[in-house]
Structures are given as C-alpha cells and as structure tokens.
Chains A and B, each alone.
Chain A
C-alpha cells in the first residue's frame, strides 16, 4: 500500500509538535522516520495509525483519504515500543486476537498463527505468557501480532530500543528478512541513525516538527542538506571556510588547506564572498603521505584505540577535529601530523 501525508499539523497545548509535514511512501518500501526525541516522529506515527487525530492535514492510503477513519478500521499493524503485549493472554491468544476480531474460523486462525510464529521463529511458545518470555521473544510476539492480520501497512515505534546491543543486531536482520519475504510497506520510527542507515530504503529526517531531509541512506549520509542533518547522521567535523566564486558546475572555496573546488551538489546555501561551514566526516580525513595534496597540519591531542579503528582527536587552526584511521601505527600525542581531506565527500553550508 502507498501512503501520502499532506501538511500534517499537531499541537499539544501551546506546543506545536508537527508543523506541516508532507511526504509519500511507496508500496513495499521500508521507510524510516528518524529524529531526536521530541521531534514529533512518534506523534506522526500515531496519527498515521489513527490513534491520534491531526489538527490539520490529510492522510491517504492508496489515494483514499483516511484522515477521519478510526484506528480500528485502518487495517494498519502497529508494533509498540514497549510491545504492549496483553499480560493476561498467552502468546497464542495475543496473536490470535486480531483474527478473532475479524471473525475468522478457529482452524483458519490456528493455521495463520502457526504460519506467523514460523515467520518470526517462535514455534513452540504458543502457550507461554508474555511474562515468561525474554525481551527478544516479546519483541517477536509483538511483531507477529501486528503481522498476522496481514496489514497493508506496518508501523514500528522504536521496536528495538529495549533490546541489548547484540539482540538489536540480530533483530535488525530479522526485520530486513521479514520485510523482504512479505513485501510489506513498513514505516519505522527511530532515533538511532545506524538503524535507519542500515535498514531503510528511504529515510525522512525530522527536526522540531519539520521535515529536514528525505532521501535514501547514502544521500542522507553523503549529501546532508543542512548542518543539522550532517551533525545528526554520524559524526562530523565543522570547519570554517569562505566561498570565493562560482563556476559553471562547481564552487571555489577557501579552506584550512587552501583553495579547493567542490561540485554544486556539495554546496548548500553558499553565496560568493560569504563565510561557510565545511562538514568533513572523520573517515574522510586521512593521514597524508608525502605526495598527498591538498593537506594541512594538525597536532594530536588524543589517540583512542577502538579495536577496528583508531580515533584521533586533533587540533588545527585552533579547532578540534576527529579523524578515524585503520592504521594503528605509532602515533604519539603531541606529534604534528599532516592531514589530507577527501574533498569530493565534504559538504559546504552557507552561514
């Protein structure tokens, strides 16, 4: 099912949580709503599910206006952050509930529950109560309960936030598999950018109730369209610079390492002669060899060995920088080194 939301606004008291959001989700897409807590992403999810009414705006499922349709009639599956499994029902009854509401025959219900339990790999736990399950198992039951009614759209509200790191990784790939196998349209709310980048077909980045950027994970990471987006998606260094002049398809800019040329799509809101912020990701800064150019000098303040990589905290022109390198060569704190930026991956934002 495709989804279209149009100029959705919502306030609680005097606080406007959603300030006019519009976007579309395509059929079969694994779509992410990403943002820090309080940005309105959960509210938007509740509005899509019908549990909460928008003050303004409309919602379309497959082109049909469902804005005033109550939650129980929308046919949307919802997985809650705390799972909301009914403690007085067994795993079987929890999952069967939606089918019973739809008045399916008993044997049909049994068949469907068995199938979905297989899908989420929980066979044999039908008779347990939620309290007798581990966190990961509860998570799977919550997912099964939402999936069993074959919803046209599945909404997931931070479904993995209560799991420990290993389980989270495992459930991520489970979710990817289930999405692939069932071909469902899924909308996933999270504040974890790694989750979004690793799973999403497309991501909508929300900030203070507004859509900050919409795109696929690579676009979002490589070409963030604002300083906020650059800072939110992974770590980055902000350096001062100045725009010089615009050529046909590129900009010439002043940087700590001299004049560089960047392409049009690396520049956002840049104006000739004005100051700008350069976003350079730690992995786009390299230790310069003799022949690398351009480069600039920096002093090592800290060296943090992180196992797979080594993170260096540097100081250059009075600014602190992060650099990540694979080499674990003998770098000493206080040492002066040369740093080589990967210019084709930096972004420039007009101040």
Chain B
C-alpha cells in the first residue's frame, strides 16, 4: 500500500471510531458526573444507594458468571470428544451442537415459557408445581443463555485444544514430568489464554443481555433497568450512571481476561497440518459419549422445538401440547404489517452492516497482518474495544449523543443502526480475516508480485480467493449477530415501521391474542433464514458447517 492513501485510511478509520464509539461513550461519562454546571457524584451515589439497583447488578453478575461456568462445562467435553477422539456420526453431531447459534435466546424464551412456566407443559405432564424458571425467571434466563452461548465457548475451547499439539505433550512426558506438572506447566498455560478469550465474550453477552430477561419478564437485572430509564433519559441522569456502571464492569472484566489471555503464540514446529489421529473409543465410552451428545443436542434444541411448537399452535391453554395446529401464524408473519416491515428492515440493516464490515474488516485485517508500525497496537485495541461495550450501552450513548442531530434515531434510525451493528461486529470479522492472512502467509502474495502482478491484481487473484473462507465465515457471523441484535435495536428503533425483527418480535409478543404465536412464527422464519445462510455458504465453500465457524475463532 502506498504511504499517503494508507495514512488517509488510518485517519478516516480513527475518525469513524472516535465519532461513533469514543465520543458517545465519553458523553455517557460526562452526563453521569456533570449536572450541567458542576462535577457531581450524586447520580453515581444514587445508583449505589438504591437497593433495587444493587440487587439488579448482582443478579446480572450472577447471570454472567453462571452462564460462563455452565457453558464451560458443556463445551469442554464436546471439544475433547470432537478434537481428540473419533467415532461414527462425529460430523453430524459437530454440526448439531452448533445449531443454537441460529436462534438468539430471547426467541427461544418465547417458546420455553410455554413448556416451563408454572402452568406450562412440564408441570402439567408431571402434575407438579415446580418453578422451573426459578426466581421470577432468573434460572430460565441463565439456562437459555447458556444453551445459546455454549457454541461460542465450544469454538474457542476447540481452537485452544487444537493448539495443544500432541508432540508438545509427548515431549513433556519424555522429560519425565508427572501428569500434574504437565497440566500445570504445559497444558494450562497453552489452553487458558484461548479459553479466557472466549469466556469473556460469553460473560459480557450474558451479563448485558436485554432480550431474554424482557421476554421472561425478569425485570430485576441491569439491562432491563437501563431499558426502563431510556424514556426519561433526558430528565433523569441516573440512567447515565447506570450505563456507566455497566460499561465499567464490562471493561474491568475485559481487562482481566486480557491479562489472563496474554498472547501465547503457539509456533507450530511441524510444517503442514500434522493432526494427530483421534483416539478410537471403546464401546462403553462410546455409549457415554453418545449419551452426552444426545443430551446436549436435545437440551440445545429444546428452545427451537418449543418456538416451532408455539408458532404452529392453534389453541394452547392449560394443556401439555397444543390442542390443534395451524399455519395461520405464518400467514400472519408474512402479512402482518409490523412483521413484514420487521423482516425487510432486518435484512436491509444486517446486509448493509455486513457489507460495511466486510470492506472494513479486510482493510483492517490487512493492515494488522501485513504492516508493522507504531500505530498497530493502537489500531488493534481500538478495533477490539467494542467487544467490551455492550449493545445496550452503545445504543444508549447514541440516543443521548445524536438526539436532535441529523442522525436523530427518532427521525430515522437506519444510519445509526447500521453503524451500531458494524461497530459492534467489526472485531469478529477482523479477527477472522486476520487469521486468514496469517494462515495464507505473505509469500503467497510476494510470489504474485515477483511475477509482475501489481497490488490490485494480487489482491483480486490471490489474496481474496485464498481469504474467501475466512471472509465468508466472518461475514456470516456478522450477519447472524446483526439479524438478532437485541439491545441496540430495542433502544434505537423508535417508530413501528423502523422496527427490525428483534423489536417486532418483542412488540408482537406483548400483544394479546395471537401476538406471541406470530412472534414465534417470525422466530421460526428467522431461524430458517439464518440456517439456510449457513447451509448455502457451507455448500459454496464445499466445507462442513462446523468448519466455517472454526476460522472465526482462531
């Protein structure tokens, strides 16, 4: 890249991030400690003194921590079974365990209520009166989020396990080290960085999720508290202080995880992939493995199943299963004014944000992978910063910063939604593209240059085709996340005809009558949509679905 356009691009990128990340967040900080004339800590004090806010903070913390622990326990055995052993139907299960990604937890919550509420199917079936969703929905939130988020954990754990080359363990054993020493000195140091990198994403997601608690009507958590204060944000600064509290918490946890996952670069000594063949399992272990996989699959697909059930149910009141079935709600989803515009809006916004991220992601990935300069670390930190900023926080800051400007979300949220989605999802695509560049190696491009091809020719014929897997993987993740981005969407889209799917589902769900059923039907449509995206790109790439996502987690 020539020097001048290079610095112009770097500057433009920094400007973009300043305008749509740093500046709005700074606005939050300012509004929480500035009453217009003086510096004040009254709002922050109010937050800490308020018993219910304190409670909601600890509830959110509880959700975050328990979801992280649960996903760890789910994904560790999965990763081990899939990377270190071989057994029949392995590929099928590898695809199945990733399926939860195609449906966000708040959609699953729509259906799970019918099954697990006090008067839900399960209690009716067993004649019991158990509060499955526990603590006014708290347990339900934790379970649903764990079931949705464990694939992210699984992908990261798998990548970490894969970096644990068998030869590293063998050479440790050859020194005569005891198993415990090998664990302490070799396995954990190599495994934990990747683990923490994934764990923090899961934690922040669960800690700040708005959709699931809203659907379960579990209002006593931080995200819902913030949501409730949006309406009076201009008159009551406590909302800002609350947002600041959430942001500080996520940043602290993010930094801790960064320290714990300090770059361990595993240099593979053997050229080419020399994967150790997985262990063959004996019959007894095989039974156990299948039982575990079946249990995980059933659990993970339960939300999907329940949503489908609700979407097709005609009458369902105080019975175990619906009394009769209908496709009426799907007709509704395709004709209901709100639903149609919701799907259209989401497709439009997600496509635009994804396109934006592909272009930015390739450029930033290139800069990070192929250039060395003083700005490199700064750029990297800047791009990864959105990982620590919850959607709801970013949306809140946009609302306060851009109200009354040309970008006012009350007038037309399209631009801000696209920007918000792009900023939040850029880290994923950058990571994916960066991994791709690392994987290709610079010599591939240099070979092209040495044969007389210029920068654009090399990019078109060599770099992009070789990167296509990583770009597609990153783009699909981005698109999928954007389609069901809840926090930012619910806050930013104010007028009904601007609602994307997430907010449409939320709104329809609150309407009496067929509302929840139409909402579920939309959830099913979204599920099919995302599922087919994955399948189509999988077919395009000629690879199995599981492998698409693997690239994004390196």
Contact = CB atoms under 8 A, between A and B. Distances in A.
Partners in one complex: yes
Contact of B462 (A70, A77, A86): A86
A57 interface: no
Interface stretch (A95-103, A175-183, A340-348): A95-103
B318 interface: no
Interface bin, chain A: 20 to 34
B449 A71 contact: yes
Interface in A132-190: 145-146, 149, 162
Contacts of A111: none
- Chain A binding surface, main DSSP class: loop
A252 to B, nearest CB: 53
Interface in A56-110: 70-78, 80, 82, 84-88, 97-98, 101-102
A334 B373 CA distance: 62
Nearest to B447: A84
A309 interface: no
A84 B440 CA distance: 9
A149 B443 contact: no
Given A82-B271, A84-B441, A72 B453 contact: yes
A88 B440 CA distance: 11
Contact of B452 (A51, A85, A88, A101): A101
B70 interface: no
A49 interface: yes
Contacts of B461: 97
A97 B447 CA distance: 10
A51 B450 contact: yes
Contacts of A77: 450-451
B465 interface: yes
Nearest to A70: B449
Nearest to B448: A97
Contacts of A49: 446, 450
Given A82-B443, A97-B461, A88 B450 contact: no
Contacts of B450: 49-51, 71-72, 74, 76-78, 146
Interface in B459-475: 461-462, 465-466
B465 A97 contact: no
A85 B447 CA distance: 8
B457 interface: yes
Contacts of A75: 452
B271 A73 contact: no
B444 interface: yes
Contacts of A88: 465-466
A97 B451 CA distance: 8
A162 B465 CA distance: 26
Nearest to A93: B461
A50 B454 CA distance: 13
A102 B453 CA distance: 8
B452 A98 contact: yes
Given A86-B462, A87-B466, A88-B466, A72 B452 contact: yes
Nearest to A102: B452
Given A86-B466, A88-B466, A80 B447 contact: yes
A199 to B, nearest CB: 22
Contact of A86 (B271, B447, B449, B452): B447
Interface in B404-458: 441, 443-444, 446-454, 457
Nearest to B461: A97
Given A72-B454, A82-B271, A84-B444, A51 B449 contact: yes
Nearest to A51: B446
A72 B462 CA distance: 14
A50 B451 CA distance: 12
B488 to A, nearest CB: 37
A108 to B, nearest CB: 16
A75 B450 CA distance: 7
Nearest to A97: B451
Contacts of A73: 452
A88 B450 CA distance: 18
B271 A162 contact: yes
Contacts of B447: 78, 80, 84-86, 145
Contacts of A145: 447, 451
A102 B449 CA distance: 12
Most buried by A among B444, B447, B457: B447
Nearest to B450: A78
Contacts of A72: 449-454
Given A72-B454, A162-B271, A86 B446 contact: no
Most buried by A among B449, B450, B453: B450
Interface string B193-205: 0000000000000
23 contacts: A51-B446, A70-B449, A71-B449, A72-B451, A72-B453, A73-B452, A77-B450, A78-B447, A80-B443, A80-B446, A80-B447, A82-B443, A84-B443, A84-B446, A87-B466, A88-B466, A97-B448, A97-B461, A98-B451, A98-B452, A101-B453, A149-B452, A162-B271
Interface of A: 49-51, 70-78, 80, 82, 84-88, 97-98, 101-102, 145-146, 149, 162
Given A78-B446, A80-B447, A146-B451, 17 more contacts: A49-B446, A50-B449, A51-B450, A71-B450, A72-B452, A76-B450, A77-B451, A80-B446, A82-B441, A84-B441, A86-B447, A88-B465, A97-B453, A98-B453, A145-B451, A146-B450, A162-B271
